[in-house]
Amino acid sequence: MTADGIKWHPVVDVLKYGPEKARHATELLGREPLHADFLALGIEPDGTAHSEGNQLVTVGLDRIGKLITGQSSTAFTAAQGIVGVGSSSTAYAAGQTALSGDGSTTTAYYQIADAAPSATNGVISANCSYQSANANFAWNEWCWVIATSTITAGGTLASVGTDPVMLNRKVQSLGTKVSGSIWTLSATITLS
């Protein structure tokens, strides 16, 4: 007898634009760029980091189950999809409800994704660009979050929106972001 199951396979690439490229793109656009802007301008990142895999947390599994059964209508959308990064390398635990760096903008930062996530044939993708003044610390963890109401970026998950629920968490060193740089966390999760 075999068991059926769903495989959750995240892949993350962090595209790192240093202060010079970030400043150049900002001058061209008249505002700080997002991931799509760098692509449109043909500006290549100064470096990248790659990560595969992570684990769902208990509250995230609960939210996914409620979405499937219609007990929740709040999904990972352009208005409610949040990406978080943090500085803590504390090991993953299923009972975690926020990044371990949660509590300060110098150790964690949660913000809305750049645009509506895409979902096609079990592949979910979202990009989140962290501007020059935000998330300037060692990136050692990341997550996806669903929340309701207006999303306000910040370092404490409980204050970014109403009823925020962390879906997953990954611990891995992705580098240290410095002031003036713009980094995009590009995540793709494949369900199979």
3-state per-residue secondary structure call for 117-186: CEEECCEEEEEEEECCCCCCCEEEEEEEEEEECCCCCECCHHHCCEEEEECEEEEEEEEECCCCCEEEEE
The reported pLDDT for the residue numbered 73 is 77
The reported pLDDT for the residue numbered 3 is 65
The reported pLDDT for the residue numbered 4 is 74
Let me know: does 32 contact 180? Beta carbons within 8 Å: no
The reported pLDDT for the residue numbered 116 is 87
Is the sign of the CA dihedral 173, 146, 116, 79 positive or negative?
negative
The pTM (predicted TM-score) of the whole model is 0.93
pLDDT by 10s per residue, the chain, length 192:
666 777 889 999 999 999 999 999 999 999 999 999 999 999 999 999 999 988 999 998 998 888 888 887 788 887 889 999 999 999 999 999 999 999 999 999 999 999 988 999 999 999 999 999 999 999 999 999 999 888 999 999 999 999 999 999 999 999 999 999 999 999 999 988
The reported pLDDT for the residue numbered 168 is 94
